[in-house]
Amino acid sequence: LVEGYGSSEGGAAIQRTPGTPPGAIGRAAPGDDLAVVDPETRKECPPALLADDGRLLNGTEAIGELVNRGPNPFEGYWRNPEADAARRHDGWYWTGDLFYRDLDGFLYFAGRTDDRLRVDSENLAAAVIENILARYEGAEAVAVYAVPDPVAGDQVMATVAGAFDPDGFAEFLVAQPDLGTKMTPRFVRVVPTMPVTATNKIQRAALRREGFRCADPVWWRPPGKWAYRRFSAVDLARLVAEYRARGREELLTR
């Protein structure tokens, strides 16, 4: 099994070559001038700093959107100027995918741009957190996404398919050396099977929209607490009241 990457529009491709390190997809295909760019500053992100065990040490600075600054065959979407503008601007092709690049030029996938979370003013990539949570012994599948924080920014929520023990999960999180404190899920939704599309992709938009107001069991870590406990109807009512008091209740349905 060989992993690769290519946008369906033909705007960018990454080739796996001999010597590609674990976790990396490869380097840019010939003719592609691929760069990892901060979408806000339009500047290239600094190289990723990786620990000996592959942990990403500077994710906030190193993760950005993958763009192709060179020529490519993508001519645009048929009668869809809005989608066109999202993919082609500043003279570049923007993939909509988050990546980071190591010092040797190898590229690592970090999720979709829609999967970026902002927790306490720090940008996080859902795929990075998912890769860590996937080590949990009871997890058959994991999805990580943002839910709005009652005050500002986002909180991390995860959906776990499979067996889940709240105390064991909390101990597992503490034992992960590359899981930053802001990456720790505030909410964990437990499902028997992960909801997927007809093409076997996780239905992230639906999970994000439902958030912690769903029919499945949800466990949460109240602010300032270490342990997870069952998210009850009383917890939900109190939390929604906090969103309402701060004028952010409407964000729960987006």
Whether residue 240 is predicted with pLDDT greater than 80 in this model: the reply is yes
Angstrom CA distances, 230 to 28, 186, 206, 246, stand at: 46, 12, 22, 25
Predicted local distance difference test score (pLDDT) of residue 150: 92
The CATH class that applies to domain 5-110 reads mainly beta
Instruction: Judge: domain 120-253, CATH 3.40.50.2020.
Output: no
DSSP β-bridge partners for residue 13: 6
Mean pLDDT of the chain: 91
Residue 254: predicted pLDDT? 63
Other residues' Cβ atoms within 10 Å of the Cβ of residue 207: 21
How many residues would you count in the chain? Answer: 254
The domain spans of the chain are 5-110, 120-253
Strand partners, 109: 99
pLDDT at residue 165 tops 70: yes
Q: What is the pLDDT, as a whole number, of residue 210? A: 94
Q: What's the pLDDT score for residue 189?
A: 98
**Which tops the pLDDT comparison, 20 or 121?**
20
55-110 confidence digits (pLDDT tens): 788 888 999 999 999 988 898 999 999 999 999 998 999 999 999 999 999 999 88
Q: Does pLDDT of 121 surpass 90?
A: no
Comparing CA positions, the residue from 224, 130, 225, 212 lying closest to residue 179 is 130
Report the pLDDT averaged over residues 164-180.
Answer: 94
State yes or no: pLDDT of 114 exceeds 80: no
Res. 251 pLDDT band, cuts 50 70 90 = confident
Per-residue confidence (pLDDT) for residue 140, from 0 to 100: 96
**pLDDT reading at 8 higher than 90:** no
